[in-house]
Structure 1
Amino acid sequence: MPSKKARDVSLDQLGAMRALVRIVELGSFSAAARELKVATSTIARKITALEAMLGVPLLHRSTHHVALTEAGTLYHARAVSMIADLDDTLRVVAELDSAPSGPLKLTAPVAFGRRYLAPLVAPFLELYPAVQLDLRLTDNHNDMVMGGFDLDIHEGENYLDNLIVQPISRNDSILCAAPGYFARRGRPCRPADLINHNCLRYLHPEGDRRWHLSDGKAVQSVMPLGNLQSDHSELLLEATRAGLGIAEFEIWLIRDLLVSGELEVALPDYRLENALTGRQIYMAYLPNRRFSTKVRVLREFMAERLKGIGELPERMQTPALGANV
């Protein structure tokens, strides 16, 4: 139960909570006051009243610095979460009877964004013209909180802590080459045959240099050897299309080229195991954005149009590939 002293204090608790969060984030009472467009003395009174209500100091104050006390650290962490939930609730209620509108921030990998998201921007904004879409393409995982992102489309499972995820597609990787390469050099029948082929290798600072090939029953590992390696998948793709050799690609990057016959699968009974790219392509978002109307319509729009992009079309799958799902 609050003390009598705490009950006697008249306080705008939400206003004081917001003030404390801004003081901590901006580093001073004066900076928070400027942002909130009130006098510094007003901010100071709010914090003093909050501390009086709680019966504990929340901030260590000095002439040029403020720091959280132990109690302040606990209160601040809870306050950040509560304010985010409240703001999201207010947004959801405001959106109930209106069309999706306002800023909407999305992030995705560079090649994926250019190939799949760029053609979808105009159709989405034609459906929801009141939305202001901010699309950031990067191959580094963004901090969704710090970056203010509403939705993140990415491959792999190594960044999904504390996020809600919605799978879009399996994320299968295969070896492929141009028909002209196979005409000159023949086709490998099993992973061990790759030693006789020009293998174009993708480099990643955290990646395994070997190719790990699975037929759904066992995994065979080979060291690819060839005359080209690069840390840029689209560069390797151009070399592969030109008939230089066999390379590893995620299906979403080359799906249209496989369908057209410009590229062909090298070992159709095998898929590559890759810890970096993972087994799925996901959409991810913060828990406090789950009820946002504009996030929901973006998720539904993307899910419908991107479904299955990381998988071979059924007519191209062999029984062995189908078993390797």
Structure 2
Amino acid sequence: MARKKAKEVSIDHLSAMRALVRIVELGSLSAAARELKVATSTIARKVSALEEMLGVPLLHRSTHHVALTEAGNLYHARAVSMIADLDDTLRVVAELDAEPSGPLKLTAPVAFGRRYLAPLVAPFLKRYPAIQLDLRLTDNHNDMVTGGFDLDIHEGENYLDNLIVQPISRNDSILCASPGYLAQRGRPATPADLAQHNCLRYLHPEGDPRWHLSNGKTVHSVLPQGNLQSDHSELLLEATCAGLGIAEFEIWLIRDLLVSGALEVVLPKYRLDNALTGRQIYMAYLPNRRISTKVRVLREFMAERLKGIGELPEGLAGKVPAGERRKR
């Protein structure tokens, strides 16, 4: 079917755009009309005027249901983004000379959130009491647009397309074990020695089950073998501290245990590479959140307090030969 040519029509385009978005989100013209406190006929006229101006139908209408046409799908997707950008700009301008306020939605991994973000919630909200913080902890990457997230803290580089990123820290991983286990079973000197040890394995559907250890240009790939595997890093950490075996962890998860001596680095001359967790811990946000005052103060607050958390503590750095440490 040939499409009508777009024509000039007198229309409040922004109002019609908002009406169409609410119709789609609520599922009917009448529901959108009730929310917007106007007559259903008024909502219908807005959509009709929009379709007449564009020269294409945007909605398939029935008595109890509406559905987007092909053109409607394209228009709706752009409209949602444009309205979000506009609303965010209006909020930012209003915030320029005001105290940061309003809802602020943050997401982070579960273990990371419990260890590092939970202690920071109260200090942040005491400093900015007009902000309403919504903190969601998950080990899956959320869609920041559909989830309405302002800031995402995660390790790894696999999810950063179309986002602005700010590195917080390197994200180093090491092999470690308890002093008791190493005293009983011995300390491996090379990756090949791991075959004689009980290795505790972390499972992830997208992860490589092997441990990749490098010394200079030589890379050794080892498939860990042992009597425990799990998809829960904190469970493996409990078992490692109890002296069950050798396991791989990111530094941020075990910093305090390394400092206290509860865990020791295994194979300190070798660097451990993990493509799943990546080399950096990032804060990521959408381009339209770049100038938001409340997002900026949250980023600055977190960056100051989380700096370097994924790196080997200074007091232990000397135990790892300088040539094998990752360069800053």
For this structure pair, what is the TM-score category when the shorter chain's length is used for normalisation? over 0.9
Aligned ranges 1:272-291 → 2 under 5 Å: 272-291=272-291
Correspondence 1:320 to 2:323: yes
Correspondence 1:86 to 2:86: yes
Contact 1:190–1:267 (CA under 8 A) maintained in structure 2: yes
Q: Give distance in 1, aligned partners of 2:230 and 2:98.
A: 49
Correspondence 1:305 to 2:298: no
Q: Give distance in 2, aligned partners of 1:149 and 1:83.
A: 16
Q: Give distance in 1, aligned partners of 2:277 and 2:326.
A: 20
Q: Give distance in 2, aligned partners of 1:177 and 1:25.
A: 52
Contact 2:171–2:279 (CA under 8 A) maintained in structure 1: yes
Aligned ranges 1:1-325 → 2 under 5 Å: 6-7=7-8, 9-317=9-317, 318-323=321-326
Which is worse superposed, 312-321 or 32-41? 312-321
User: What SS does structure 2 have at the residue aligned with 1:41?
Assistant: helix
Count of residue pairs brought into register by the alignment = 322
Shift of 1:216: 4.2
TM-score by length of 1: 0.93
Q: Give distance in 1, aligned partners of 2:178 and 2:224.
A: 17
Contact 1:105–1:133 (CA under 8 A) maintained in structure 2: yes
TM-score by length of 2: 0.92
Shift of 1:323: 4.5
Contact 1:58–1:71 (CA under 8 A) maintained in structure 2: yes
Shift of 1:324: 5.9
User: What SS does structure 2 have at the residue aligned with 1:80?
Assistant: helix
RMSD: 1.9
Which residue identity is paired with 2:324?
L
User: What SS does structure 2 have at the residue aligned with 1:234?
Assistant: helix
Contact 2:104–2:294 (CA under 8 A) maintained in structure 1: yes
Which residue identity is paired with 2:76?
H
1:282-322 Cα shifts (integer Å, max 9, x gaps): 11111111111001100010011111111112342221332
Q: What does residue 3 of structure 2 align with?
A: none
Shift of 1:6: 4.5
Q: Give distance in 2, aligned partners of 1:99 and 1:215.
A: 51
Shift of 1:255: 0.9
